[in-house]
Chains A and B, each alone.
Chain A
Amino acid sequence: MENLNVYAAKMAPQQEFLAGGHRACQGCAELLAVRLVAKTLGHDYIIANATGCLEIVTSSFPHSAWKVPWIHVAFENAAAVASGVEAAVKVLQRKGKYPVDRKITILAQAGDGGTVDIGLQALSGALERGHDMIYICYDNEAYMNTGVQRSSSTPYGATTTTSPSGKVDPLGQHTMKKNIVEIAAAHNVPYVATASPSYPFDLMAKVKKAAETPGPAYIHCFVPCPTGWRMAPNLAVSIGRIAVESKVFPLYEIVDGEYRMTVTHKNHRPVSDYLQPQGRFRHLNEDHIAEIQQQVDKSYERLLKKVKMSSIELD
């Protein structure tokens, strides 16, 4: 099965539902991820989009990059709008009043700010109510659309325009990245996963699984942002791979509460391989890097324990 990816590439749908010509920056991994998600979900789905990079680069009137029905209302409410679309399609289909009687997938999508900060309440409400929908957070680890301000998804030590590395306070972001994946999982939803466009077939498989799972599914997608991370645009895909190889962003899924790693590596790279190419970490000294290595190791160990616990069969 080592060559699975060779076949998978050939089996991926050819059709595109996100048109080219949108206004994303060069090397934007978010739009790459979105394109893969769109391919996977195919024709029969409706998107509720939060305000943010993705919304502005794809919908500048009179242009639209969307070949599927798409609605944008505001920043913090993609989950709520998607809940409404889901509830309406369901009731209208039941009453024979919706023009399509096939199964329609409902997708909410937002950035990290629109998910972990301002959109957290609406997300929690939608997950708790159990709508049959997918929520995808495209996490580029700061408010990129407004000019790289820190969010609660910004990692420890990253410099942003509101967590700058200064003379008196050289660290940059002081707080640990909020673990939104665990927060989503705590709602006891049937499917939660992390994903990355640097691992396209893993991402597509997860989106497919999320669509097929009845009830709410949450996917946290890691999308490197060359502009905000201060790195060359051609590094977006490789830095996403290094994030996984260095345990910074492990790829796993939680199915009905059971944890499973979906991508594993035998020899992990040091976090310095991940930090070094990015301008946002350039100010960090050796002590900082050692501290980050410790944090990464610790949270990876914690994750592995959950995976291990999940595989134990109880009589």
Chain B
Amino acid sequence: MAKRVGIEVSLAISEAVKLAQVDAVAAYPITPQTHIVEHLSELVAEGELDAAFIPVESEHSAMSVCAGTSAAGARTYTATSSQGLALMNEILFIIPALRLPIVMTIANRALSGPISIWNDHSDIMSVRDTGWIAIFAENGQEAFDLTLQSFKIAEDHRVLLPISVNIDGFTLSHVIEPHEFLDQEEVNRFLPEYKPAVQLNPDDPVSMGAVGVPEIYAEAKKCQDEVLKGSITVIKEVFAEFAEMFGREYKVVETYQAEGAETLLLTMGSVGETAMEAIDQLRAAGRKVGLVRLRLWRPFPAADLRAAVRGIKTLAVIDRAVSFGGTGGPVAGEVRSALYSVKDAPYVASFITGLGGRDITVDDFIGMANQAEAMAKANEIHEYKMIGVRE
């Protein structure tokens, strides 16, 4: 039976990884990911999780070891943040090409420099095009549920791609929240044992990671993109199955108070909950404002997003990373692209805020809603506006 547990979100994620009965964890410590892997190593040491825990000498090796464990057929998990993710970068590209279904938690943290241990989304944005499925959790329960669902999505033979589950560093990783845990029997019913499609085995030898000559490279990349795009079907199936079994429903694009809204804010990650508070206040004042929460970042759920914003006048996209020298926040850029050819598409305002752990308050969201509506009215041509910055 499900039980309610008050526990730090990092530990809840570790418990989900334990319930997934992973075979291998390779990790290198980096703030604010540490509590997750500390707890996993403890679970292994205490005999509660029968897995290889490989304490590597860098994140580059963490992801390389994961490549080895996954290729040998082990259900594989790791976690990182910021600079650690940046150091993994080279290997991140190779994992989906090898079709290795590794699950990784990213406790999102700002990238250096200046060095900052605090939360924003610059780390995940820097690996946008590595070919991983990228999902965002908004609270501890979501982090727990999505971790379990990620193994099922990644390991589906129609997918066989790695997944990152993104949680905001500190604001999510280090808070204690109530979680509704699943027990082992329930998880086993939902998540079958991992059956690799191909694995390193002397009785059935394969060569993995061969040279891609010009005659084959483009086809390989096209296949990879098709598989990643196609994974949205499996993601929705798994979300539906989870909802059916445990009653908690997830969608690739979620909305809040969007019914009849003329203006929508769009967020990713834990700030969605602060934004909801702002929406409640605006609605109470009679304003037609709602919220879109992007749960799935890659593959980008363009069709679901178009459906969610149909008929509205203004869309205020809140980014937590800078695309230096670019035409707006990285999420806003994607959103503008997805809506460009849509007839009567809403005006898209791009706001960048909450960098390097700077709080985004309820008043900030109300201010952005107001500003976006004014900009839309004036049809203001802009790239992005940075909110809460001293100039």
**Which residues of chain B are near A68, meaning CB under 8 Å?**
202, 205
Hey, which chain B residues are within 8 Å of A69, CB to CB? 200-202, 204-208
B386, CB-defined interface residue at 8 Å: no
Looking at the complex, which one of A43, A89, A99, A122 makes contact with B61 (CB distance below 8 Å)? Answer: A122
Q: Quick one: given A71-B208, A73-B209, are A84 and B26 in contact (CB under 8 Å)?
A: yes
List B residues 51-72 near A (Cβ within 8 Å).
51-52, 54-58, 60-61, 64-72
Give min CB distance, A67 to chain B, whole Å.
Answer: 6
Inter-chain CA distance A125–B64, complex, in Å, is: 12
Interface flag for A32 (CB, 8 Å): no
Give complex CA distance A298, B205 in Å.
Answer: 46
In the bound complex, how far is the Cα of B66 from the Cα of A88, in angstroms? 9
Name which of A52-60, A148-156, A288-296 contacts chain B: A52-60
How far apart sit A86 and B56, CA to CA, in the bound complex (Å)?
A: 14
Mark out the residues of chain B between 193 and 246 whose CB falls within 8 Å of any chain A CB in the assembled complex. 193, 199-213, 216
Establish whether residues A99 and B56, one from each chain, have CB atoms under 8 Å apart when the complex forms. Answer: no
Q: Known contacts A60-B213, A81-B67; is A88 also within 8 Å of B205 by CB?
A: no
| A128 to B209 alpha-carbon distance, docked (Å) | 26
CA distance A116 to B301 in the complex (A): 45
* B-contact 0/1 string along A41-77, CB 8 Å cutoff: 0011110110000011001111010111111111011
Pairwise interchain contact B203-A121, C-beta atoms closer than 8 A: no
- Whether A84 and B210, one on each chain, are in contact in the complex, defined by CB atoms closer than 8 angstroms, is no
Give me 12 A-to-B residue pairs in the complex whose CB atoms sit less than 8 angstroms apart, sorted by A's number: A70-B205, A70-B206, A73-B67, A74-B90, A77-B64, A81-B65, A87-B26, A87-B54, A88-B73, A98-B72, A122-B64, A125-B61
- Please provide the 4 A-B residue pairs with the shortest distance between their CB atoms, ordered closest to farther: A84-B68, A125-B57, A80-B64, A88-B72
Report the minimal beta-carbon distance from B100 to chain A, rounded to whole angstroms. Answer: 10
Assess the B73–A72 pair: CB atoms within 8 A. no
A74 contacts B64, C-beta separation under 8 Å: yes
Known A43-B202, A59-B207, A61-B212; judge A73-B69 contact (CB<8 A).
no
Output the least CB separation between A240 and chain B (Å).
Answer: 27
A residues near B51, Cβ cutoff 8 Å:
91
A side interface size, CB within 8 A: 50
A72 to B56 alpha-carbon distance, docked (Å): 19
Contact A61 B210 (CB under 8 A): yes
Closest residue on chain A to residue B193 by CB atoms = A97
Q: Which residues of B, 160-217, contact A by the 8 Å Cβ criterion?
A: 193, 199-213, 216
Identify the closest chain B residue to A58 (Cβ): B207
Q: Which residues of B contact A91 (CB under 8 A)?
A: 23-24, 50-52, 74
Residues of B in contact with A (beta carbons under 8 Å apart): 23-24, 26, 50-52, 54-58, 60-61, 64-74, 76, 90-91, 94, 98, 193, 199-213, 216
New A-B pairs, 15, CB < 8 Å, besides A59-B210, A73-B94, A104-B202 = A61-B212, A61-B216, A64-B207, A64-B210, A69-B201, A71-B71, A71-B208, A73-B64, A73-B209, A81-B65, A81-B71, A87-B74, A97-B23, A99-B203, A121-B58
CB neighbours (8 Å) of A55 from chain B are 211
Which of A45, A99, A122, A129 is in CB contact (< 8 Å) with B55?
A129
Is B71's CB under 8 angstroms from A60's CB? no
Q: How far is the CA of A262 from the CA of B233 in the complex (A)?
A: 61
CB distance from B76 to the nearest CB of A (A): 8
Whole-angstrom distance between the Cβ of A149 and the nearest chain B Cβ = 20
* B202 and A92 form a contact (CB under 8 A): no
Q: Is the CB of A46 within 8 A of B72?
A: yes
Checking A46, A61, A67, A94 against B200 with a beta-carbon cut-off of 8 angstroms, the contacting residue is A46
Which of B24, B206, B208 has the largest number of chain A CB atoms within 10 A? B208
With beta carbons under 8 angstroms apart, the residue of A43, A48, A129 that contacts B68 is A48
Asked if B58 and A100 sit within 8 Å, CB to CB, the answer is no
**A100 x B72 contact (CB < 8 A):** no
Provide the main secondary structure of the chain A interface.
mixed
Complex contacts, B76 vs chain A, CB 8 Å:
88
Residues of chain A touching chain B, judged by Cβ–Cβ distance below 8 Å, are 43-46, 48-49, 55-56, 59-62, 64, 66-74, 76-77, 80-92, 94-95, 97-100, 104, 121-122, 124-125, 128-129
In the complex, what residues of A have CB within 8 A of residue B66's CB? Answer: 84
* Residue from the set B50, B60, B65, B74 with the largest chain A CB neighbour count within 10 Å: B65
Q: Which residues of B contact A44 (CB under 8 A)?
A: 202
Q: Whose C-beta in chain A lies nearest to the C-beta of B57?
A: A125
Decide: A66 and B72 in contact? CB cutoff 8 A: no
B193 / chain A contacts, CB cutoff of 8 Å: 97
Query: Once the chains bind, are B23 and A124 in contact (CB under 8 Å)?
Result: no
Q: Which residue of A lies closest to B217 (CB)?
A: A61
Give the residue name and chain of the B residue nearest to A65 (CB).
Answer: B207
Contacts of A88 in B (CB 8 A): 23-24, 52, 68-74, 76
Task: Please give, as numbers and ranges, the residues of chain B lying within 8 Å of A66 by CB-CB distance.
Answer: 205, 207
* A60 to B209 Cα, complex, angstroms: 10
- Which residue of B24, B90, B94, B204 contacts A84 across the interface (Cβ within 8 Å)? B24
Give which listed residue, A70, A76, A99, A129, contacts B54 with CB less than 8 A: A129
Contact B206 A80 (CB under 8 A): no
Question: Complex Cα distance A160/B198, Å?
Answer: 41
In the complex, the answer to whether B57 meets A85 with C-beta atoms within 8 Å is: no
Inter-chain contact B68/A81, CB cutoff 8 Å: yes
Interface centre among B52, B61, B69, B76 (most CB of A within 10 A): B61
Minimum CB–CB distance from A234 to chain B (whole Å) comes to 28
Q: How far is the CA of A247 from the CA of B69 in the complex (A)?
A: 41
Contact A121 B57 (CB under 8 A): yes
Which residues of the partner chain A approach B200 to less than 8 Å between Cβ atoms?
46, 69, 71, 85
Judge whether A84 and B54 touch: CB under 8 Å.
Answer: yes
Complex contact A84–B64 (CB within 8 A):
yes
Q: Which residues of B contact A98 (CB under 8 A)?
A: 72-73, 201
Which residues does chain A contribute within 8 Å of B69, judged by CB atoms? Answer: 84-85, 87-88
Give Cα distance in the complex from A70 to B200, angstroms.
7
Instruction: List chain A residues, Cβ under 8 A from B50.
Output: 91, 94-95
